[in-house]
Amino acid sequence: MNDNSAKKIGGRQGLISTGLGIIIAQLIMTSLIALDEGFIRAFFWFMEVTYKLNLIVGVVIMLLSGYIFGQVGAKAILVKKKNFLLVGTLTGIAVLFTTAFFSSWTGFLQEGFKNIGTNDNPFEDYIFKPMFWITVFGLIPAILVGIWFGIQIKRKGSIKRN
């Protein structure tokens, strides 16, 4: 297996895994909101929030990082013969943290930047808190999707060899 073939498999599987992660995030938010609002309103929760731009930026960053980390992960699994479960898990966590960190800056630049030097703590409000909550709700799904990613890469690599 050469680098280019591994990257092609990894990029595609990274996008598929990221799509699965987005669906899981939607299900988590829907289930949390459905307790108070009902299922239909909860399913379309993103239509009523004031941070739509943050969500759009987050999805774009997640897709990009899934594609890039997918290529890196596939190369590690298929070319360097690293443990597919470990690499998959680390890839899933890397996508989660990268997305959380970079998408948090959207809110900071929109609102928090002007609060630097005031009694507010914009770094805590716009960087730390989103990272914390995204990690709390997303770590286990990211690990599970990462394991699935590793298994799929291993499987696709063995199919390609035959």
pLDDT per residue over 1-22, tens digit each? 899 999 999 999 999 999 999 9
Residue 161 is assigned to a structural domain of this protein: no
Residue 102, Cβ density class (10 Å: 0-12 exposed, 13-18 middle, ≥19 buried):
middle
Residue 18 is assigned to a structural domain of this protein: yes
As for how many domains the chain has, the answer is 1
The domain of 73 spans: 3-156
Amino acid at 55: L
pLDDT > 70? residue 161:
no
Residue 48 is assigned to a structural domain of this protein: yes
| Reported confidence tier of residue 23, pLDDT bands at 50, 70, 90 | very high
Amino acid at 122: P
pLDDT > 90? residue 37:
no
Q: What is the mean pLDDT of residues 38-63?
A: 92
Residue 123, Cβ density class (10 Å: 0-12 exposed, 13-18 middle, ≥19 buried):
middle
Residue 85 is assigned to a structural domain of this protein: yes
Residue 128 is assigned to a structural domain of this protein: yes
Query: How many C-beta neighbours within 10 Å does residue 117 have?
Result: 7
Residue 136 is assigned to a structural domain of this protein: yes
Residue 26 is assigned to a structural domain of this protein: yes
For residue 98, CA distances in Å to 12, 59, 61, 91, 142 come to 19, 12, 8, 10, 12
Least Cα distance to 63 among 24, 135, 5, 12 occurs for 12
Residue 146 is assigned to a structural domain of this protein: yes
